[in-house]
Amino acid sequence: MITLCLDTSDGAAVAVLRDGATLAAARSTDPRRHVETLTPMIVACLTEAEVAPDEVTAVAVGTGPAPFTGLRVGLVTARTFALARGIEAYGVSSLDAIADEALEQAGEEVLVATDARRREVYWARYRRSAVGGLELMAGPGVESADVVAAEHNDLVAAGAVVGRGVALYPDVLAPEAIEEDRLRRAALTVDPVRLGALAAERAGQGADQPTEALYLRRPDVHVTPGAGSSRAS
């Protein structure tokens, strides 16, 4: 099984897997150039992996939550690629992928907080289930970092908050993590390899994995009355 894995919930991340083994991976940290970077990254990863596009047997894509424009680029690309080849496209929450990596490293519970702009974070709280999978304890939601920290102060105090929200609001979400190295380790982003592994695991369990976007709020679209154009961010 050859899986093309994509996520555009923050920057753009791409990986090509063969039966779970990583053949190629790439990442762009620019959160506003998904249209320009994603397709060249896919081409580069397939070339490095020595895999022709028609050899791909499944696509795994992050469904967010994330700002509207960037997330839409990844989802449309994944669906189009899969439809053109008659293969399955599996959707995985981007927060799930971050939580899975964090819980593998340490801890019984974790709070994931990612950048939602407007001085807010997307968040969700997880723990390991009895059978080793992810169990969603609360969320997903979108709120200010202050509100999220107050609602989950036990995990904040334990240093069990991960995601780019930690880098953006360290005084609120990681007040004890004064060392730069600890902050950097906490500021996890979506690993497309991890996303692909979750998609494969859930597909093996027969789970439904729709590729619908998880936006949590209305897109930032501004329309001038009487104008025929709009602007999204």
Entry pTM? 0.90
107 and 33 within one domain: no
| Predicted pLDDT at 27 | 96
pLDDT at position 33, please? 84
Q: Are residues 62 and 112 in the same domain?
A: no
Q: Are residues 102 and 90 in the same domain?
A: no
pLDDT for the residue 4: 99
Do 116 and 195 lie in a common domain?
no
Check whether residue 29 and residue 139 sit in a common domain. no
Same domain for 90 and 194: yes
Inter-axis angle of helices 192-204 and 94-105, nearest 10: 100
Structure tokens at 1: 């099984």
User: Sign of the CA dihedral 66, 70, 72, 77?
Assistant: negative
Shared domain check, 28 and 73? yes
pLDDT at 29: 87
Q: Who's near 14: CB < 8 A, 6+ residues apart?
A: 4, 5, 6, 25, 26, 27, 38, 41, 42, 45, 192
Report, as ranges of residue numbers, the positions in the chain whose pLDDT lies below 50: 221-233
| Residue 136 β-bridge partners | 126
* Domain contains 73: yes
Range of the domain at 121: 97-186
Q: Reduced to 3 states, what is the DSSP secondary structure of residue 5?
A: strand
In sequence order, the 6+-apart residues with CB closer than 8 A to the CB of 184 are: 167
Judged on CB neighbours under 10 Å (0-12, 13-18, 19+), 100 is buried
Domain count, the chain: 2
